[in-house]
Amino acid sequence: MSVISKKICMVGDFGVGKTSLVRRFLDRQFSDHYLSTIGVKISRKLIPVPTDQDLQLIIWDIEGKTQFQSITPHYLEGAMGAVIVADLNRPETIEHIQSHIQLLTSVNSSTIPCLVALNKVDTITKSGQERSVIAELEVHPQVVTVCQTSAKTGQCVDQMFESLAQRLLEHHHARTSERS
């Protein structure tokens, strides 16, 4: 049986931990050293589906948005899902989530499932300030779920990617049945 491949993108401001989340998910590793991603880094992960075709995630870890450089829209083309990452300790990165979703839907289908990862929950110093923003995100039509993750401890990382995979499969089957 063949494997279904889906491209997903990691999007977010610089230094929020996109690469670390991918590394935790793929290699079960974490490093404190910050290495800025240049351009894009591509990895893949096979998610076995016992009852159906296996799902292969092609993960595009895209360089973070900085003050001076926006995300290259070409890299987002053809994505069937996205993980939008923000740093719980940097409120401005949470505020930018909306604009990242907007960019994604402008390049791709407007129904692209997005998953919000509020990262670095292990180092959280002040909490409660982003409650309103998070509540707003949870009712956003594109947002599947909002997770508070930690690439360092692994909290919620696997569940997050798995729930996105689950959503991608549902999407795929819905489309296939539509066409047939």
Partner 1 sequence: MLSPENPLKNQAAPIGAADQDIDQSLKSLVDILLDIDADQTAKSSATARKVSPESWPPELMVLPPPPQPSVFSAKPLTLEPPQVHIKPPGQPPSSSTAKPPQQSEFLRQAQNDIRFVLGRLDEKVTRLERKIDQPTELINPLLPLITELLTLKHTESNHSLLQALVPLIDQVIQLRAQQDQAKMGAAIGDILPAAIAHQIQHSPAAIAKAIAPEIALSIQEQAQLDPEAIAQSLGPQMGEAIKNQILVEREAMVDALYPVIGNTISKYMVEVVKSINDKVEASLSPEGILRKVRARIRGVSEAELILQESVGFKVQAILLIHKASGLVMRDLQPASSFQIEADMLAGMLTAIRSFVSECMTQPDTDSELHQIEYNASKIVLEVAGYCYLAVIIKGEPSPAFIEKIRTTLGQIVLKSGKAIAYYDGDPGNIPASVDLCLDRLLAAEPKPAPAAKFPVGIAVLLGLILIPLGFFSYRSYVAHKVELKTADALDGVPELSVYRIVPKVEGSKLTLTGRLPNDALRQQAAVVAAQVAPNWPVANQILTVDVPADPTRIAGEVERVAWIFNQKPGVAIAAQHQFNSNSVDVTGIVADFQDSQQLTQALKKIPGLAKVTSTVQIRPVLESQIYFDLNSAQVEASNLARLRSIRQFLDQNPSVALKIIGHSDPTGEQSRNQQLSRERARNVQQVLITEGISPTRLQVQVSDQLPPSITPQQPLRLSRSVRFEVFIPVQKRE
Residue 34 makes contact with partner 1 by CB under 8 A: no
The least distance separating partner 1 from the CB of residue 16, rounded to whole angstroms, comes to 20
- Our CB check for partner 1 shows the closer of 61 and 87 to be 61
3-state secondary structure of 66: coil
Query: Cα–chain-centroid distance for residue 42?
Result: 13
For residue 120, give the DSSP letter: -
Phi and psi (nearest 5°) for 50?
Answer: -60, -35
Ranges of beta strands (E only) in the chain are 4-12, 40-47, 55-62, 81-87, 114-119, 143-148
Q: Which is nearer to partner 1, 94 or 165 (CB)?
A: 165
- Interaction of residue 60 with partner 1, rule CB under 8 A: yes
Positions 66 through 125 that interact with partner 1 (CB under 8 A): 72, 74-75, 77-80
Output 74 or 126, the one with its CB closest to partner 1: 74
Q: Which stretch binds partner 1 (CB under 8 A): 21-29, 55-63, 83-91, 124-132?
A: 55-63
The SS3 of residue 65 is strand
- Compute CA distances 35 → 66, 76, 144, 151, 170, whole Å: 14, 22, 29, 15, 35
Contact call for residue 161 and partner 1 (CB under 8 A): no
Interacting residue with partner 1 among 4, 114, 115, 160 (CB under 8 A): 4
Give residues in contact with partner 1 (CB under 8 A): 2-7, 39-40, 42-44, 53, 56, 58, 60, 72, 74-75, 77-80, 172, 175-176
